[in-house]
Homo-oligomer: A and B are copies of this chain.
């Protein structure tokens, strides 16, 4: 099944995520990306729970974010997800948060595959690789 490109995850800002400046506090973007990443895998046919049951997990080893503007409570928003690159055990994913035609945040995250309950990295398993599809960077 071909993937939607780019994958879009609709985002609803929670009231509690907005600080006294009236904008989403920075850490919540990492929550949005985690939510979007889970949905991205699921669209590719790999629910997160099944990946764990197969004995694999992924850990974030690097992430970088640039903020271009604010996001407020009630603003319609979405996360766009694009697969950046694949290494032996690493997966580079690009994220962007948009509200309307305004880009709020750009980010890049590197995940590494690890064995459940184990140590060190592991090669990307075949089922996970198939679910990711081909790299189609957002930028």
User: Which A residues have a C-beta under 8 Å from some C-beta of B?
Assistant: 12, 14-16, 18-22, 25-28, 30-31, 34-35, 38, 47-49, 57, 59-67, 73-74
> Closest chain B residue to A65 by CB distance?
B63
Asked, given contacts A27-B31, A66-B61, whether A19 binds B20 with beta carbons under 8 Å apart, the answer is yes
A63 touches B31 (CB 8 A): no
Copies in the complex: 4
Chain A interface helix/strand/loop/mixed: mixed
> Closest chain B residue to A75 by CB distance?
B49
B67 touches A64 (CB 8 A): no
- A14 contacts across to B, CB distance below 8 A: 31, 34-35
A71 CB → nearest B CB, Å: 12
